Amino acid sequence: MRAKESDMKELILMIAQSLVDKPDEVEVTEVKGDKTTVLELKVAKEDLGKVIGKQGKTAHAIRTILNATATKLRQRAVLEIIE
């Protein structure tokens, strides 16, 4: 199966929904630039800590997976976690 740009958005959505208590409130918005795609992740306020993790380890792991996917697509992607 070949990866597509929308797969990055779906990947982040799936990961975030599996981590939080309120998966219905998870939103991922894709903002495309010339060379970089920014994925904005919004979760319920009480779930923010679950997505970031202790010392930011969970957020770092999500970003690592996103970067691997983006590299495969020969793109650059950035994840912003929005309060």
Quick one: tokens of 66? Answer: 């996103």
Cα→Cα distances 39→1, 61, 67, 80, Å: 22, 15, 11, 6
Domain that holds residue 38: 5-82
pLDDT value at residue 83? 84
pLDDT value at residue 6? 74
Q: Which pLDDT band, with edges at 50, 70 and 90, does 2 fall under? A: low
pLDDT value at residue 1? 47
Number of domains present in the structure of the chain: 1
Q: What CATH number should be reported for the domain holding residue 34?
A: 3.30.300.20
